[in-house]
Amino acid sequence: EAAAFLARFPDAEDDALDLLLDELDKEPLQSSILDRDAVRRVVALLVEADEAVDAASPAATSARSALRVVDSFVVPRFHYDPIKKVFYEHTSRLAIHGEAGDKAALYRDRYQVLLQRLARDIYFSKPAFDTVMTEDDNCEITSIQSLIGCTGRRWIMGVISQLEERQFYLEDLTGAVPIDLSNAKITSGFFVENTVIVAEGELLSNGIFQVNTCGFPPLEDREASLSMLMGLDFFGGGVIPTEETVRLSTLEKKAMNDMFVILSDVWLDNYETMEKLGVVLDGYDSLEAVPSLFVLMGNFCSRPCNLAFNSFEELRLQFGKLGEMIAARSRLKEHSRFLFIPGPDDAGPSKALPRCALPKYLTEELQKHIPNAIFVSNPCRVKFYTQEIVFFRQDLLYRMRRSCLIPPTTEETSDPFEHLVATITHQSHLCPLPLTVQPIIWSYDHCLRLYPTPHTIVLGDKSDQKAFKYTGITCFNPGSFANDSTFAAYRPCTKEVELSALES
């Protein structure tokens, strides 16, 4: 953290270090040991101040200062206290390999986030005046433990789990109840294990909860979430004061020339893909205003990293060639930033999410040519002025469809991508799949949260290119560049997506 901070001031490293140490002295430490969290907070403050200064300068429209990339592993973690009804920050160290409590906390935190959101929804609030509402309109959530002895229609909210073979349960913080989904009417989305649902139904005499209707917890407007959170930094890019938000928002709308180009499945070992990439780069290099940001998402190799793959040195050289290719287009090299996000089959320590950035061994050659290339985790977050954008590269659609328990309803839409968007936004989670389908690092589940709702979500998937605006959230899949020659261009000033493709 400190080294990254000092790298921002290549000519004044000593001064920057003194400033960092001075600020650390003011920081109230919990112990005599200087841990990563304290350094991170101070660095975030200083970076914030630095960018404020940059923003006030005549070069206010510079993309360099407007853009901030957040790695998943530095996103702060917040827990919800149901007694005080506030979120508080997790301050101790987050281990990549956690203990037993961390695994349970993963589920509980997800549930708590959605429960506190639901509690503010008008249909599920406790009635303040009993006489005002009739019995049929009362949708108060009953805890599962309280279901025992209850008769009649009830609303419950819980996590779908399979505690016994072929028997599904709903779990909440108090207990679990077996459910029967065979006659349930559902809303849009993929209902898979580990999703949180709100179910209306009745507890039968055999102890099974018969579900009549169920759906995902209702969405909350981003502004409503932010007002409730009162300045907590859920996104990870630092908190912007209200007056600054107005100013930055104005600048954002004026940034007509800023464009993000997003490509997925950039196979460096495939000759045709590299040729096509050259065409794309040439095209943008010749524009009057070059794109601010290129996002290259993996897989960066046509073959997965498994026992049969033995060519890491070659892959390293291919990254070097990519660096040469970019450097040869001098305007892109000077004015664009390049962001690299690993794909699900790229080499690295694990397949668990979030995934750390590509290994240094593979990227060293590229960095010789493009020193300011950014290598980040998957998923990663990008803040552009006030806009929050989440990038996630995972073949999610296929797994969701394979894992869903009930075929999706076709009432609102039959488009699988739209069902996927509905699922992850309502769940406020990028990957609400069972851990056995997609392992998740227990202590870092919060990095996959989508709460408060970001402005834009980029879902890199090998399925077809697609864009969809869902309740004000822009979601798109750039498609597979290697397979379909498809990519996407995003203009943050208007939140418009151009789905592009090369002629083949």
Partner 1 sequence: MDSLISSLSEGRGVYVMYFPTSFRIHAVVVNPFRNKELSPSFLEKQYRDACQALGSLHENITFLVDYHTSIDAGSKHVQRMLLEYRQQHPGPVIGVIECPKLQALKSAVRALDDFPCVTIPCNARDNNYQALGWQATAGRTSMQRCAASTQWFNERISLARYAHVPLGNFELDWLLFTADVFFSRALRDQQQVLWISDDGIPDLGGTYEGDTCFADEVIQPALTYPGAYRRVAVELKIHHLAVNSLLKSSQVDEMEGGPIGSFANDMPAGPNGTETEFDDATLCLPAFQVLKQLIQRCISDAVSSGNVFADAILQHLYRWLCSPRSKLHDPALHHLLHNVMKKVFALMLAEFRKLGANVIFANFSKIIIDTGKVDLLSARAYCDSLLKTLQTRDIFEWVELEPLHYWHSLLFMDQYNYGGIQAKMQNATSEGSSDGDNDIDIVSSWNIAEYLPKATQDHFVLIVSEFLYVPWKYMKEQVALRSTTRDETSCTPSITIMAAENLEVQVIGYLRDQISNYFADKLLRIVSDILHHFKGKGKSESVELTNREPDPHTHKGDAALEFIKHICAVLALDQNVQHDILRMRKNLLKLVRVKEFAPEAQFQDPCASFTLPNVICSYCNDCRDLDLCRDSTLQGQEWRCAVPQCGQPYHREQMENALLQVVRQRERLYHLQDLVCLRCRQVKAAHLSEQCSCGGAFRCKEESSQFLSKMRVFLNVAVSQKFELLQDVVQWILEVR
Considering only residues 365-404, where is the footprint of partner 1 by CB under 8 A?
Answer: 395, 398-399, 402
Question: How many C-beta neighbours within 10 Å does residue 365 have?
Answer: 18
If one asks whether residue 172 binds partner 1 (CB under 8 A), the answer comes out as yes
Q: Least distance from C-beta 437 to partner 1, angstroms?
A: 7
If one asks whether residue 442 binds partner 1 (CB under 8 A), the answer comes out as yes
- Nearer Cβ to partner 1 (145/414): 145
If one asks whether residue 295 binds partner 1 (CB under 8 A), the answer comes out as no
| Token pair 């979430």 in the structure block, residue | 225
If one asks whether residue 310 binds partner 1 (CB under 8 A), the answer comes out as yes
Binding part of the chain for partner 1, among 45-53, 57-65, 76-84, 158-166 by CB under 8 A, reads 158-166
Quickly list DSSP for 329-398: SHHHHHH-EEEEE--TTSSSS-SSBSBPPPPHHHHHHHHHH-TT-EE--BSEEEEETTEEEEEEE--HHH
If one asks whether residue 437 binds partner 1 (CB under 8 A), the answer comes out as yes
If one asks whether residue 230 binds partner 1 (CB under 8 A), the answer comes out as no
If one asks whether residue 123 binds partner 1 (CB under 8 A), the answer comes out as no
Quickly list DSSP for 29-50: -SSSS--HHHHHHHHHHHHHHH
- Nearer Cβ to partner 1 (88/309): 309
AA letter at 493: C
> Residue 154 corresponds to which tokens in the numbers above?
């009830």
Which of 362, 404, 420, 459: binder of partner 1 (CB under 8 A)?
Answer: 362
State the Cα–Cα distance between residues 250 and 252, nearest whole angstrom: 5
Q: Least distance from C-beta 72 to partner 1, angstroms?
A: 13
- Nearer Cβ to partner 1 (4/501): 4
Binding part of the chain for partner 1, among 18-26, 121-129, 439-447, 472-480 by CB under 8 A, reads 439-447
Binding part of the chain for partner 1, among 43-51, 80-88, 265-273, 434-442 by CB under 8 A, reads 434-442
AA letter at 242: T
Which of 441, 450, 475, 482: binder of partner 1 (CB under 8 A)?
Answer: 441
State the Cα–Cα distance between residues 386 and 51, nearest whole angstrom: 13
The answer to whether 358 touches 340, Cβ cutoff 8 Å, is yes
- Residue 217: CA atoms inside 13 Å, Cβ hemisphere, count? 29
Which of 34, 56, 95, 501: binder of partner 1 (CB under 8 A)?
Answer: 95
If one asks whether residue 108 binds partner 1 (CB under 8 A), the answer comes out as yes
Size of the site for partner 1 (CB under 8 A): 55
If one asks whether residue 96 binds partner 1 (CB under 8 A), the answer comes out as yes
If one asks whether residue 207 binds partner 1 (CB under 8 A), the answer comes out as no
State the Cα–Cα distance between residues 259 and 219, nearest whole angstrom: 29
Which of 178, 218, 238, 359: binder of partner 1 (CB under 8 A)?
Answer: 359
If one asks whether residue 278 binds partner 1 (CB under 8 A), the answer comes out as no
State the Cα–Cα distance between residues 409 and 348, nearest whole angstrom: 38
> Residue 106 corresponds to which tokens in the numbers above?
């993963």
State the Cα–Cα distance between residues 422 and 244, nearest whole angstrom: 32
Q: Least distance from C-beta 395 to partner 1, angstroms?
A: 7
* Sign of the torsion formed by the C-alpha atoms of 365, 371, 377 and 381: negative
Q: Least distance from C-beta 213 to partner 1, angstroms?
A: 23
Percent composition of the chain: helix, strand, coil (DSSP 3-state, to 5): 35, 25, 45
If one asks whether residue 306 binds partner 1 (CB under 8 A), the answer comes out as yes
If one asks whether residue 166 binds partner 1 (CB under 8 A), the answer comes out as no
- CA R_g for the chain: 24
Binding part of the chain for partner 1, among 26-34, 60-68, 168-176, 207-215 by CB under 8 A, reads 168-176
How many helical (H) and strand (E) elements, i.e. helices and strands, does the chain have?
Answer: 14, 20
If one asks whether residue 107 binds partner 1 (CB under 8 A), the answer comes out as yes
State the Cα–Cα distance between residues 454 and 446, nearest whole angstrom: 14
AA letter at 303: R
If one asks whether residue 178 binds partner 1 (CB under 8 A), the answer comes out as no
The answer to whether 448 touches 464, Cβ cutoff 8 Å, is no
* Residue length of the chain: 504
Q: Least distance from C-beta 219 to partner 1, angstroms?
A: 23
Q: Least distance from C-beta 365 to partner 1, angstroms?
A: 12
Q: Where are the beta strands (DSSP E) in 66-133?
A: 67-71, 78-81, 86-89
Which of 291, 348, 452, 454: binder of partner 1 (CB under 8 A)?
Answer: 348
Residue ranges binding partner 1 (CB under 8 A)? 95-101, 103-104, 107-108, 111, 159, 161, 163-164, 169, 171-173, 176, 194, 303-313, 347-352, 356, 359-362, 395, 398-399, 402, 435-437, 439-442
